[in-house]
Structure 1
């Protein structure tokens, strides 16, 4: 299948999936207990006329189908509605909070890729006590939830040692990076352990393969054997975890942002869910689904470049 045909097919699939996800996301909020009007009133009593005015303003009294298609039409125009909690456009809320979340995710992703691949490589190539130490370390990392890592790092490096801020995002790129260093480590720790173990297992499998033995018998330098015949062939297996890694980063961002009081998308989603701020929850949920699908599309497009034996459109093994 040609690249253009595959890309068009996947984009159509993404559009159909987003449409289905939009219906589920929109409907799920209205199945949850509670009434958004009660949050707007903050527990105060209101006359039937005042309650009717609120319902009319936010279209809460319209039939479900009418609300859904009105909302979908607005989303297609880039309008996610007006936040019930903040009384402002959801698009503005996302624009204000998205940069800090994206920077946090990017910093954590860099840590995961660099540390995960390096530890997996070292463990597979050196073996012995080094491999055992890396296995124990990555096992501890995998067994440490992000919110636990956030509390431990905050208590040690922020409260006791005072090396990093305890909360906030800072002002300016340099200050933001300094504020988000500990949150990025807490967010990346679990995934570093996971990626390291996946990389190690994939490289060990390649080290025991026939083509590696043939390359060594021909006198190919060990460094080239490891790079060209072991690591490059192991990348196919590693790449299949790319979607899972990014998905986990985005999901765990909610916990880490709350622990460090980072005013990002994750913290906004938590607050909006608590207050039944329908437009905000729906916009963030749809954004997350779109990011998931975009990452999976990128992985599918990169996979044939990493493994030439795989063609576009072929099913990948996720084992």
Structure 2
């Protein structure tokens, strides 16, 4: 198990390093010069432009700039915003709590509804299974921005149960304000996880050893717990890990629709303003979240399946 953890940790670090190179290089190699963000519509003199480029270290070779940025990031210094002049860590950190709370709420909804509907469909063939299949087929086709619009129109404007935009003060106020964004963020993932859960459970239910145990009179719940649910966990955990990793990217749309002050809305604003340091930090954060979720998924599966632990010892 320790070797598996070290292997996954090494892969995580290599992935983050390569991703940081791509993120840093792609932004600074894009058309346009970063200092134009500061000048706007003004036409500075050559001396002024040179002084600004020197202050932003843009007159240095790209590898030197990358190394300075990387070593600073390892010490918690992600640079300063080119728009506000604030430290990037402060700008990102200000909205990170809200985004993490939104993602946590969406994850809970995905787990409850996705696992619940998938289990119900697998154990209740016939009308129940058909109804769940129709519901999940609809949910996976609804984009987050469409779901956001419908939820705002129905539950915020017409019924007035939730705020249409922004967040209310306090922890409970934030929870109340993020209910609709979390639902919009979780809708597609719920349908996808329900399908994966249903198929995984159905595959185990028709296995010969399960049918033999049922024919011998083994009680329903012990049969499901020992021989069905446990063996169906690997694909479900994989799907859950991938869906959770993708939630941070989904906040870009949902937070903009609901005007939630998180890193999703910050990313949209930073891209529009060409605030490269902030975009770099958020992009690296999204990659890190995706890689960490995948690594955590592998470790959880190794804890459940002894064969994966044995494979990790042999690598």
TM-score tier by shorter-chain length is over 0.9
May I ask how many residue pairs the two structures share in their alignment?
Answer: 312
TM-score computed with the length of structure 2 as normaliser? 0.95
Question: What corresponds to 1:64 in structure 2?
Answer: 62
Distance 2:158 2:197 in 1: 35
Q: CA deviation at 1:127?
A: 1.1
Show the counterpart of 2:294: 296
Consecutive unaligned residues of structure 1, counting only runs of 5 or more, are 315-319
Equivalent residue number for residue 178 of structure 1: 176
Deviations 1:90-134 (Å, cap 9, x if unpaired)? 011121110000000000000000110000000010111111000
The alpha-carbon deviation at position 291 of structure 1 amounts to: 1.2
3-state SS of 1:166 partner: coil
> 1:78 deviation in Å?
1.0
For the 8 Å contact 2:242–2:293, the answer to whether it is kept is: no
Q: Flag the 1:310–1:4 CA change in 2: closer, same or farther, 3 A.
A: closer
Q: CA deviation at 1:306?
A: 2.6
Q: 1:66 to 1:304 in 2, by over 3 A?
A: closer
Alignment-derived partner of residue 233 in structure 2: 235
Matched, 1:88 2:110: no
* Aligned counterparts of 2:156 and 2:310: Cα–Cα separation in 1: 48
1:4 is matched with: 2
- 1:274-310 deviation per Cα after TM superposition (whole angstroms, max 9, x unaligned): 2221111111111111111111111111102333343
CA 1:297–1:188: 2 relative to 1, 3 Å: same
Moved more, 286-295 or 305-314: 305-314
Pairing partner for 1:213 from 192, 211, 214: 211
Deviation per CA, 1:237-273: give whole Å up to 9, x if none: 1111133202221111100000001111111111112
**1:99 alignment counterpart:** 97
- Mapped to 2, the partners of 1:312 and 1:62 lie a distance apart of 49
In 1, Cα distance between equivalents of 2:236 and 2:127:
24
Q: Which runs of 5+ in 2 are unaligned?
A: none
* CA–CA distance in structure 1, aligned partners of residues 129 and 310 of structure 2: 36
Whole-Å separation in 2 of the counterparts to 1:175 and 1:49: 51
* Superposition CA RMSD, Å: 1.3
State the distance in 2 between where 1:29 and 1:168 align: 30
**Superposed displacement of residue 313, structure 1:** 4.6
Measure how far apart 1:88 and its partner are: 0.5
> How far 1:44 sits from its partner (Å)?
1.7
| CA–CA separation in structure 1 for the residues paired with 2:191 and 2:280 | 32
Aligned-residue offset at 1:170:
2.0
Matched, 1:167 2:165: yes
Deviating more after overlay: 304-313 vs 164-173:
304-313
Aligned counterpart, 1:262: 260
Assess if the C-alpha contact under 8 Å between 2:115 and 2:193 holds in 1: yes
1:135-154 mapped onto 2 (5 Å cutoff): 135-154=133-152
- Is the Cα contact below 8 Å between 1:109 and 1:246 reproduced in 2? yes
- Cα distance in 1 for residues equivalent to 2:8 and 2:206: 36
Matched, 1:287 2:285: yes
**Contact (CA 8 Å) 1:187, 1:253: kept in 2 or not?**
yes
**Cα distance in structure 1, aligned partners of 2:291 and 2:279:** 18
Q: Secondary structure at the match of 1:310?
A: helix
CA contact (8 A) 1:35 1:276 kept: no
The structural deviation recorded for 1:30 is 1.5
- What is the 5 A alignment of 1:301-312? 301-311=299-309
**Paired residue secondary structure (1:241):** helix
Within the alignment, does 1:32 sit opposite 2:30 as a pair? Answer: yes
**Local SS of the residue matching 2:35:** helix
